[in-house]
Each structure stands twice: as structure tokens, then as C-alpha cells.
């Protein structure tokens, strides 16, 4: 019987009953570049920290356990993880990608991957005909669910069936929900991506990225590429993420509870024209989320009536911070037009629903009364 996810955030079964590392409950930071050997062919199991490091290995085992993968790869950022993953493809390969991706992913695909000979077709994977876009050279489907920032929800199991029927990899960016709320590999995906900077770390104090897979061929390719390219996560940053993961469940539950209350509060505000949160029953992805996830997450997006009001909100918040990123204990509000999606062409942004009136919120763990009090004051001051 598989242990609960909160337990797996704290313990690896393989280490139970052991007192390695002098019994330290906090896994040590092995801050070393290289390792000594007793003789030729007598390795300690580690040779050079670009190849592997005990602290990184511990973190990778924890993340693999949380996602139900056979292996995980800890990288220096979420974008480093996606960049590394793209190396399993070759010039001429075609990838079907979600149209409403994080802007950094689109920037990478359009400016680096295309330069390297890859071809992309962007679709709204929650509603468009994915199967109809498959070509002879198609190798993968790449999705976020919910998407960033418009919170579109794709049916992972359904897309996995299509991918398997055509021999494609299904890649799912699971950053918004974290492994606490959603496990794409168990729904048929082959590869999961995380920006570990976000909910896994949870404290806005380090950058990290992860690739998790249950495919042995992908595992073998990535182990070779990561040691070759050298983008593995540094030991201290691995320790910070390990520390953050210990409270993942508590943080996700509290942030989600706050997010649901804020989403419902926003619905009642005259200046708010639309609230995008999959935990609202009217959201088109609500039933799919109930089927494939254990929660709705702490991310929400909303549109106000005018650009002037959007800018005034950003300038008026105080406890809530106007900042990029997401997934930390602090509540952040972001302006996709000039921040996360600034490099996405305007016509694409508008087609996806991202307008100058769109604001994205990463809800933290502050007392809900304080969050609503600040929002009430900010909205009352709108002119």
C-alpha cells in the first residue's frame, strides 16, 4: 500500500531504520565539487557533482516518489528543466503544444527550439482537435493544466490515450497544482515538468526545476544529457527545496482554501468581469479537475473592466505584492501583459484571453481576513 503524500513529503521508505549521516533529520548539504576514491575502480558512488551529488540525489528521490516516477532530475530552474527535456528531440521533430503556456516556455520554443529545427503547433488542448494536428514527424504533446494564466483545464487521461495511440510522449507541466494535488504520470503521461521555484520550494528563496518520468528510455537519455550539459541543481538549493517540500501539503491546503474564498469574493465585485478559477462550479474544467486532481490549487486569474483599474490595483496593494513568480507562502499579484507573457506576441496573447485588463494571483497562506480586508480597501479606492 502506497503511503500518503504528506508522509512521502517527509520520509523515504528506503532510509527508514537507518542512521546514515549521523542520524541527521535534516538531510546534509554536501557542498563539494568532487569526491576522493580509495583506488581505481573503488568509487564511493559519486565522482563529480556535475554528474551527481548526495543532496541532489535525495531530492530527486523524494520528487520521484511524490509524482510516482522511476526517476527525477533536479535542474537549476524550471526553464533549465524544459531546455534539457527538449534535448531528447532532434531537428525535424514536431511537437503539439498548449497555446496558453507560460510565456517563458513559448519564448524558448519559438526562439531556441525552432532555431534547432523543431516544429510546433499551438492548440487550445482543452478543446481543440489534438489528433487532427498529428503528423508523421509528431513526437510529443506538451500541455499545462491548468494553464498559465487563463486556467484552462485539459483532460490528461484523454490526451494520454491519443498520445499512446500514435506513439507520442505526453509531457505535462504540473507546476500549478504540484504533486500534492495532481499526478499526471498516474493518468497516463510520460513526463512531468515542474518549476520547483514555485510550490515545491514554497518560500520564494531559490530557483529549481524538475523533470520526472516513468519511461526508461527517457530516463536513460536524460541521465546522459544532464551530466553532459551540467545544469544540475546546486547542493544548497537542493536542501532548500527539500526543506520546502516538508510543508507542501499544509501550504497547498491553506492556500487553496484562501483561493476559493478570494475567487468567490471577486465574483461579487462590480469591476470584475470574469474570474478564472477551476474550483468554481461554473468553470468549464470543473468536472475534469474533480476527476483527475485532488484539489483546485491556489492560482486564479481575473479580468477587470478597464486597463486603468488593473494598473491601479497593482499600484495600490501593500501586503499583497506586485511581483512575478508564484507558489510561495506570500500572496502575489502579477500582470501577464508586461511580466510573465511579455514576450508572447500581442495577437497571441489576445487570442488566448490575456488582455491589459487581466491580473493573475498566486494566493498565499496569510489569514484570509487580512487578504480580503486589503482587497476591499484597494477596490474601494478604484476611480
Going by pLDDT thresholds of 50, 70 and 90, the confidence category of residue 31 is very high
Per DSSP, the three-state class of 56 is helix
Strand partners, 66: none
The model's confidence at residue 15, banded by pLDDT at 50, 70 and 90, is confident
What would the pLDDT profile of 71-129 be if each residue is shown by its tens digit? 999 999 999 999 999 999 999 999 999 999 999 999 999 999 999 999 999 999 999 99
Residue 83 burial (CB count, 10 A): 18
Q: Do residues 240 and 254 both lie within one domain?
A: no
- Is residue 276 located within the same domain as residue 216? no
Catalytic residue chosen out of the listed positions 50, 221, 223, 351: 50
> Checking DSSP bridges between strand 191-195 and strand 169-173, what pairing results, if any?
parallel
The dihedral through the CA atoms of 269, 274, 276, 282 has a sign that is: positive
Order of strands, edge to edge, in the sheet holding 272-276?
A: 272-276, 299-304, 358-362, 332-334, 321-322
Residue 16 has pLDDT above 90, yes or no: no
Picking from 207, 226, 245, the residue at the C-terminal end of a domain is: 245
Torsion angle (degrees, nearest 10) of CA 22, 25, 29, 34 = 40
* Residue that finishes a domain, picked among 180, 214, 245: 245
Task: With CA atoms as reference, report the closest residue to 187 among 161, 209, 153.
Answer: 161
pLDDT band at 156 (very low <50, low <70, confident <90, very high): very high
304 cis-preceded (ω within 30 degrees of 0): no
Strand partners, 138: 94
Residue 203 pLDDT > 80: yes
Q: What number is the average pLDDT over the span 303-331?
A: 98
CATH number of the CATH domain containing 188: 3.40.640.10
Query: CA-CA distance, 72 to 211, in Å (whole number)?
Result: 6
DSSP 169-218: EEEEE-TTTHHHH--GGGGT-SEEEEETTTTTT-SSS---EEEEE--HHH
> Both 230 and 83 in a single domain?
yes
Domain shared by 101 and 222, yes or no: yes
Q: Do 257 and 241 share a structural domain? A: no
Contact in structure between 206 and 241 (CB atoms under 8 Å):
yes
What's the domain range around 115? 5-245
Residue pair 200/209 in contact by the 8 Å Cβ criterion? no
Between the alpha carbon of residue 92 and those of residues 65, 86, 229, 352, the distances in Å are 34, 13, 22, 27
**One domain for residues 140 and 157:** yes
* Cα Dmax for the chain: 75
| Average pLDDT value for the chain | 97
CA nearest to 373, candidates 322, 318, 329, 310 = 318
Domain count, the chain: 2
Between the alpha carbon of residue 146 and those of residues 154, 173, 294, 335, the distances in Å are 7, 9, 13, 18
Backbone phi, psi, residue 335, to 5°: -110, 95
Point out the catalytic residue in the list 155, 173, 190, 237. 173
pTM over 0.85: yes
Question: Which residue among the candidates 27, 30, 102, 169 is catalytic per the annotation?
Answer: 102
Sign, Cα dihedral of 193, 106, 342, 151: negative
Cell of 302: 481575473
Catalytic residue status for 360? no
Residues 180 and 61 in one domain: yes
What's the pLDDT tens digit per position in 123-152? 999 999 999 999 999 999 999 999 999 999
CB 162 within 8 A of CB 174: no
Over its C-alpha atoms, the chain yields an Rg (Å, rounded) of: 21
- Shared-domain flag, residues 115 and 74: yes
Q: How confident is the model at residue 17 (pLDDT cuts 50, 70, 90)?
A: confident
Domain boundary among 201, 223, 245: 245
Residue 128 catalytic? no
Q: 254, 297, 249: which is closest to 277 by C-alpha? A: 297
User: Is the domain of 185 the same as that of 202?
Assistant: yes
Residues 267, 335 within the same domain = yes
Tell me: pLDDT of 364 over 90: yes
Q: Is there a single domain that holds both residue 112 and residue 168?
A: yes
Q: Are 293 and 309 in contact (CB under 8 A)?
A: no
For residue 354 the three cell numbers come to 490575456
Residue 41 has pLDDT above 90, yes or no: no
pLDDT of residue 2: 83
Give yes or no: 173 in active site: yes
Shared-domain flag, residues 180 and 258: no
**For 178-204, what is the mean pLDDT?**
98
Looking up residue 265, the CATH number of its domain turns out to be 3.90.1150.10
Amino acid at each position: 500500500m502506497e503511503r500518503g503524500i504528506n508522509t512521502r513529503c517527509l520520509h523515504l521508505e528506503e532510509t527508514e531504520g537507518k542512521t546514515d549521516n549521523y542520524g541527521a533529520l535534516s538531510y546534509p548539504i554536501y557542498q563539494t565539487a568532487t569526491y576522493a576514491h580509495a583506488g581505481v575502480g573503488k568509487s564511493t558512488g559519486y565522482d563529480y557533482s556535475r554528474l551527481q551529488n548526495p543532496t541532489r540525489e535525495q531530492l530527486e528521490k523524494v520528487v520521484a516518489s511524490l509524482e510516482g516516477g522511476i526517476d527525477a532530475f533536479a535542474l537549476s530552474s524550471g526553464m533549465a528543466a524544459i531546455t534539457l527535456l527538449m534535448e531528447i528531440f532532434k531537428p525535424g521533430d514536431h511537437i503539439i503544444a498548449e497555446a496558453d503556456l507560460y510565456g517563458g516556455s513559448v519564448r524558448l520554443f519559438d526562439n531556441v527550439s525552432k532555431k534547432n529545427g523543431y516544429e510546433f503547433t499551438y492548440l487550445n488542448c482543452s478543446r481543440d482537435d489534438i489528433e487532427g494536428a498529428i503528423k508523421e514527424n509528431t513526437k510529443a504533446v506538451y500541455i499545462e493544466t491548468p494553464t498559465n494564466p487563463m486556467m484552462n483545464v485539459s483532460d490528461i487521461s484523454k490526451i494520454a490515450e491519443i498520445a499512446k495511440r500514435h506513439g507520442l510522449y505526453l509531457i505535462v507541466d504540473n507546476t500549478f497544482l504540484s504533486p500534492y494535488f495532481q499526478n499526471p504520470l498516474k493518468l497516463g503521461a510520460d513526463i512531468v515538468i515542474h518549476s520547483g521555484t514555485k510550490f515545491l520550494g514554497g518560500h520564494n528563496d531559490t530557483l529549481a526545476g524538475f523533470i520526472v518520468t516513468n519511461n526508461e528510455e527517457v530516463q536513460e537519455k536524460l541521465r546522459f544529457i544532464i551530466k553532459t550539459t551540467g545544469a544540475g541543481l546546486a547542493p544548497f538549493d537542493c536542501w532548500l527545496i527539500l526543506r520546502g517540500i516538508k510543508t507542501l501539503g499544509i501550504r497547498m491546503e491553506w492556500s487553496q482554501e484562501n483561493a476559493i474564498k478570494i475567487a468567490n469574493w471577486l465574483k461579487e465585485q462590480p469591476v470584475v468581469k470574469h474570474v478564472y478559477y477551476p474550483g468554481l462550479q461554473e468553470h468549464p474544467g470543473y468536472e475534469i479537475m474533480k476527476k483527475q486532481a485532488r484539489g483546485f490549487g491556489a492560482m486564479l486569474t481575473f479580468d477587470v473592466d478597464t486597463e486603468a483599474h488593473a494598473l491601479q490595483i497593482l499600484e495600490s496593494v501593500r501586503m499583497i505584492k506586485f511581483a512575478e513568480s508564484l507558489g510561495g507562502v506570500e500572496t502575489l499579484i502579477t500582470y501577464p501583459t508586461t511580466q510573465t507573457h511579455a514576450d508572447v506576441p500581442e495577437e497571441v496573447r489576445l487570442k488566448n484571453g490575456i488582455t491589459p485588463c487581466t491580473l493573475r494571483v498566486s494566493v498565499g497562506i496569510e489569514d484570509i481576513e487580512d487578504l480580503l480586508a486589503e482587497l476591499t480597501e484597494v477596490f474601494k479606492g478604484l476611480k
